[in-house]
Amino acid sequence: MTAFVIFNPNAASGQTGRDWREIEEALERIFPLMSFFVTAAPAQAAHMVRDALRDGHMEIIAVGGDGTINEALNGFFDRGAPVSPDATFSFVHNGDDSALCRKFGLLPGWRAGIEHLKQAHVRKVDVARVSCLSESGAPVSRHFLGVASFGLSGSIARALGSARIAWMFGHRFAQAWHSMMALVRWRTCRVRLIAAGYDEIAGISSVRLSPYGGLLDIEVSAGESRRRILQAMKSAGRRLRSARLTAAPTLDTSGPVAVETDGESAGVLPASFEIYPAALNLRV
């Protein structure tokens, strides 16, 4: 079998790059003919996957963390349309934490990921898309397989994406530190949410969305005060199911409301989220 491999050597604090020779040899036992691209900057993965699909590659593998996998996924689409509808996507996760592994019931780490690929099957899966704004006001479009969210969770993802010093102490420390700091800085966030049969202005801490069963599974965690936010973080919020959600902050909301996709900062509200049922061939 042939494959085009997108590889992020910086995943898992650089351990992925140090293990690359072993990763390459393990992948070659499954895909004897491979082409490689090593990412060196953000957004490269999407461009290279798009080019590879247009050149006729039919099997794309992303090796890295959730961010690398999400970027590679976005290369399968151009302006909302699939670049190569028959192509197959798979991933080997080797980051510090993985919402995608949890969603698909996979063990973390590249050894477990490659071992799973040996018996993995291709199936159609839902993909979701968010259209929002960059912090400078430019339109942004991102697809996601796992989870997107906005509010406090988006602020944490934005802080983690730009963090430098905290990462020196490891992923868990950086996650805990920036979660605490985002909560300290949090201000009242009121957002108008519109979905199928639902239209409300809600005080939220975070809204979480995941593609599932041809619809978006939406969870709204309430909380206008830090006490209510902490309570909401310990329990599930209100749940909705809809093919589409639009969200816009009210005029009394102070500052931008951040959006993230698969753990990576995507932009800010206003935003619209929509589902693409069975839009991707995923080997999982």
DSSP 14: G
Residue 13: is it exposed, middle or buried by C-beta count within 10 angstroms (0-12/13-18/19+)?
middle
Q: What is the pLDDT of residues 63-109, one digit of tens each?
A: 998 889 999 999 999 998 999 999 999 999 987 668 888 889 998 89
Residue 281: is it exposed, middle or buried by C-beta count within 10 angstroms (0-12/13-18/19+)?
buried
| pLDDT of residue 234 exceeding 80 | no
Single pTM value for the model: 0.89
Q: What is the average pLDDT score of the chain?
A: 88
Q: What is the pLDDT of residues 170-193, one digit of tens each?
A: 556 666 665 666 666 777 789 999
Domains, the chain, ordered by start: 2-120 (3.40.50.10330), 128-279 (2.60.200.40)
Helix (H, G, I), strand (E, B) or coil at 121: coil
